[in-house]
Amino acid sequence: MLNKNIYLILTISLVFAISFWIGFNVNLLPTEASINAPIYDELFKILFIIGLIIFIGMTIAVIYSLFRFRKRNDQIGDGIALEGNLSLEIVWTIIPSIIVLLIGLYSYNIYDRMGGMKELNHNHEMMSSNSEKIWAGISQTSDNEIAINNLSIEVSAMQFAFLFNYPKGNFISGELHVPVDQKVSMKMESKDVIHAFWVPEFRIKQDIIPGQPTILNFTPTKVGKYPIICAELCGPYHGGMRASIIVEEESDYNEWFNKNKKPEVNL
Ligand SMILES: [Cu+2]
């Protein structure tokens, strides 16, 4: 019996050790290209490790049972009838409840750190002219930070494209350009159905809803070109609804911005 317990403890320790090793050494996610990415990846790592512990543990239990409890030659008829095991049922209810509760609290904390719990209807620069209700979004920017740069962008989503309006430059672009290491604030509206703005490398995703503007703020941290993908099934060409975000050095961004800038038309 003692021997058996030692094997059990050893196996469980091994499952934990392997799961933690894989969790910390195998990266399944794309590059981390925004300040949200490392925060999000913390949560993913924890979920991945929990998943690995369950997956490896279950696989070992199934394979062990297949051999250990297989039908022997001298065994005929049915096995013994088992019915109920109160302590086992309590254990397998309490452990998952605790895990789910902790994941819930931790997710809340992660979402809060990403700016998901911030007040949305502050005097956002683009909205100061009308007191329009902002319905949802991820905010991590205060008004002052937005006012000092040109990075208030208006996103229009439609079947099946994204358009980016730069109000300060008075132009519209099909490609989203932003400078690295600066906060970007986007107000997003849909012209038809529900779409979603998703940049996997930034670990951000926000629905774009007709008639209900949403905002999305982010700070890119790595120069490069990343895909913008519509993440809400929005029609037959939903799969082709993609755009690109180009994160560039500030000087390159300014050059691009000034090249596209149109003079203000005073009527
Ligand atoms: Cu779409």
On whether residue 106 sits in a domain, the answer given is yes
What's the whole-model pTM score?
A: 0.78
Domain shared by 97 and 60, yes or no: yes
Kindly state the tokens that stand for 74.
């001298």
User: Is the CB of residue 55 less than 8 Å from the CB of residue 239?
Assistant: no
Domain shared by 51 and 133, yes or no: no
pLDDT of the residue at 115: 79
**What mean pLDDT comes out for the span 96-109?**
94
Domain shared by 130 and 256, yes or no: yes
Q: Which residue range(s) make up the domain with 140?
A: 125-260
How far away, in angstroms, is 161 Cα from ligand 1 center?
7
On whether residue 160 sits in a domain, the answer given is yes
> In sequence order, what DSSP letters do the residues of 185-216 get, joined into one string?
EEEEEESSS-EEEEEGGGTEEEEEBBTB-EEE
How far away, in angstroms, is 43 Cα from ligand 1 center?
27
Domain shared by 166 and 238, yes or no: yes
pLDDT of the residue at 120: 62
How far away, in angstroms, is 264 Cα from ligand 1 center?
31
The answer to which of 70-84, 90-104, 224-238 has the lowest mean pLDDT is 70-84
Task: Tell me the sheet residues that pair with 204.
Answer: 199
The b-or-e profile of 109-133 (16+ CB within 10 A means b, else e) is ebeebbbbebebeeebbbbeeeeee
How many domains does the chain fold into?
2
- The confidence band for 73, taking pLDDT boundaries of 50, 70 and 90, is confident
pLDDT tens, position by position, 41-61: 999 999 999 999 999 999 999
How far away, in angstroms, is 219 Cα from ligand 1 center?
23
- What single letter denotes the amino acid at residue 58? M
On whether residue 267 sits in a domain, the answer given is no
When the pLDDT of each residue in the chain is averaged and rounded to a whole number, the result is: 86
Torsion angle, alpha carbons of 199, 141, 39, 250, to 10? 60
How far away, in angstroms, is 189 Cα from ligand 1 center?
12
On whether residue 118 sits in a domain, the answer given is no
